[in-house]
Structure 1
Amino acid sequence: MIDHPMKGLSVEPVVRSPLREEIRKVLLDGLISGRWEPGERIVERRLAAELQVSQAPVREALRELETLRLVESAPNKGARVRGFTPDDLREVYQVRAGLEETATRLGRPSVAALRAHVARLHAAAAAGSLEDQVRHGVAFHREIVAASGNALLVSVWESLGVEVWTHVSIRLFRMRPHENAADHEPLVEAFDRDDPGVGRLLHDHVLAYAP
């Protein structure tokens, strides 16, 4: 692992993925950890120097984050972290809820796989790991979306940046981490009994986390 002077952030050696993706991960980690606060400028040249890369892949990674509405740029001013509002987050959750509800009409996920994700959620909560809670929670929902068998739906859902927005919502809009392992159990039971109302249950479950 190659360490860089980025407040404890680190970058894996670039061996399996494009350099742009590695830089994108560093930027996302910085947004999640609070290295860059809303309204703060991300200096392309400075970041490139820290990572010992050219500015081109940094610029490409910033453009990708702009499509996620995490950063914004202006001519001659560079990139800046967006000033997030509850409305921004609510819009993401509304779209996500609709996509996941649609996914349940197209396919059914493995109940065993869902139970495994919930078990990992409980373990992460017991260990006090917010990062793992978010990761396993997103994996639970990804299981449902993937089971739809609809590649376009999956692509749109992934493009929402669910994991990043979840971290942002916890860091900016909640006073304390929200342990939500138990909230997923009714969904598992609904899928297990092939409840025709599982789509609406899932929709409401997702919206319950919007500010």
Structure 2
Amino acid sequence: MNHPDPTPQPSPDDADRLSRVPLGEQVRALLLDGLLGGRWRPGDRIVERRLAAELNVSQAPVREALRSLQALGLLDAEPNRGVRVREIAPAELREVYQVRAALERLAAESAVVRLAGDVGELERHAREMEKAAASGDLLGQARHGVAFHRAIVAASGNGTLLRTWEGLGVEAWTVLSLHRVRPELHENAADHRPLIEAFRSQAPEAGRLLAEHVLEYADRSV
């Protein structure tokens, strides 16, 4: 005799809800876009209640997003006054780049072996950087540049290393540094070509080259 399975089965609606990006992450992305795009500048206040009303959401996801950006060091909390956008000192920017360079060097030493000369993903990101450069899109170029570096870190196969790298908020710091340095976009895109060749040829110095590439932007920012 067959007995019905008492375990409740997930409905299509349940799966759909699970696939959605959490609201707090959506708000964080909107805030980050505003910070990087210049809507809010150093010294500006962001009031949780007002932003929640503007976005037509509860204050909880806004609070979560603000705390996340505070943890990155982009915002300062002001009791009973919301948060204020921080002015980032050059020395602080350099510290972030120094940590990032060390992580990426470690990642590259594994990635250059694991990729075994397959640089297709790096090539795709480099082409997108070049397209963004041609159209004068600084923010777009920064995002494709971050994707280039993330592909190398992910290729290391070290999940802890990838999570630590992502925890630095690389995209935000990259855009901040590019705004400060204001490099020629084509030059910035071209800087990634020697890295591709190092990974293509499985050069043992790939990790060193990547770390030097990252630190070069730190040096320009101080």
Q: What range describes the TM-score normalised by the shorter chain of this pair?
A: 0.7 to 0.9
Q: Which of these two proteins has the greater Rg computed from alpha carbons?
A: 2
Residue deviations 1:87-123, cap 9 Å, x none?
1211111111110000012233431221222122222
Question: 1:122-137 residue pairs with structure 2 within 5 A?
Answer: 122-137=130-145
Give the 3-state SS of the residue equivalent to 2:76 in structure 1: strand
1:89 corresponds to 2:97: no
Query: Does structure 1 conserve the Cα–Cα contact (< 8 Å) formed by 2:109 and 2:206?
Result: no
| Alignment partners' CA distance in 2, 1:177 and 1:36 | 24
Q: Which moved more, 1:142-151 or 1:110-119?
A: 110-119
Q: CA deviation at 1:174?
A: 2.5
| Alignment partners' CA distance in 2, 1:199 and 1:40 | 39
| Alignment partners' CA distance in 2, 1:130 and 1:76 | 35
1:28 corresponds to 2:32: yes
- Indicate the percent of aligned positions where both proteins have the same amino acid: 58
| Alignment partners' CA distance in 1, 2:34 and 2:149 | 24
One-letter amino acid of the counterpart of residue 43, structure 1: V
**Structure 2 regions of 5+ residues with no counterpart?**
1-18
What is the aligned partner in structure 2 of residue 174 from structure 1? 181
Residue deviations 1:51-79, cap 9 Å, x none?
11121111111011111111111333321
Question: 1:95-114 residue pairs with structure 2 within 5 A?
Answer: 95-108=99-112, 109=115, 110-114=118-122
Which of 68, 71, 74 is the matching residue for 1:70? 74
**Structure 1 regions of 5+ residues with no counterpart?**
1-14
Q: CA deviation at 1:205?
A: 0.3
| Alignment partners' CA distance in 2, 1:18 and 1:65 | 16
What is the aligned partner in structure 2 of residue 42 from structure 1? 46
Q: Which structure: greater helix fraction? A: 2
Q: CA deviation at 1:177?
A: 5.3
One-letter amino acid of the counterpart of residue 148, structure 2: F
Give the 3-state SS of the residue equivalent to 1:31 in structure 2: helix
Give the 3-state SS of the residue equivalent to 1:208 in structure 2: helix
Q: Which structure: greater strand fraction? A: 1
Query: Does structure 2 conserve the Cα–Cα contact (< 8 Å) formed by 1:103 and 1:144?
Result: yes
Relative to the length of structure 1, the TM-score reads 0.87
One-letter amino acid of the counterpart of residue 171, structure 2: E
Query: Does structure 2 conserve the Cα–Cα contact (< 8 Å) formed by 1:97 and 1:204?
Result: yes
| Alignment partners' CA distance in 2, 1:209 and 1:52 | 39
Q: CA 1:127–1:52 in 2, change beyond 3 Å: closer, same or farther?
A: same
| Alignment partners' CA distance in 1, 2:149 and 2:97 | 13
Q: CA deviation at 1:20?
A: 0.6
4+ residue segments displaced more than 6 Å: none
One-letter amino acid of the counterpart of residue 102, structure 2: G
Relative to the length of structure 2, the TM-score reads 0.83
Q: CA 1:177–1:85 in 2, change beyond 3 Å: closer, same or farther?
A: farther
What is the aligned partner in structure 1 of residue 191 from structure 2? 183
Q: CA deviation at 1:187?
A: 0.7
| Alignment partners' CA distance in 1, 2:129 and 2:30 | 25
Give the 3-state SS of the residue equivalent to 1:23 in structure 2: helix
| Alignment partners' CA distance in 2, 1:177 and 1:76 | 42
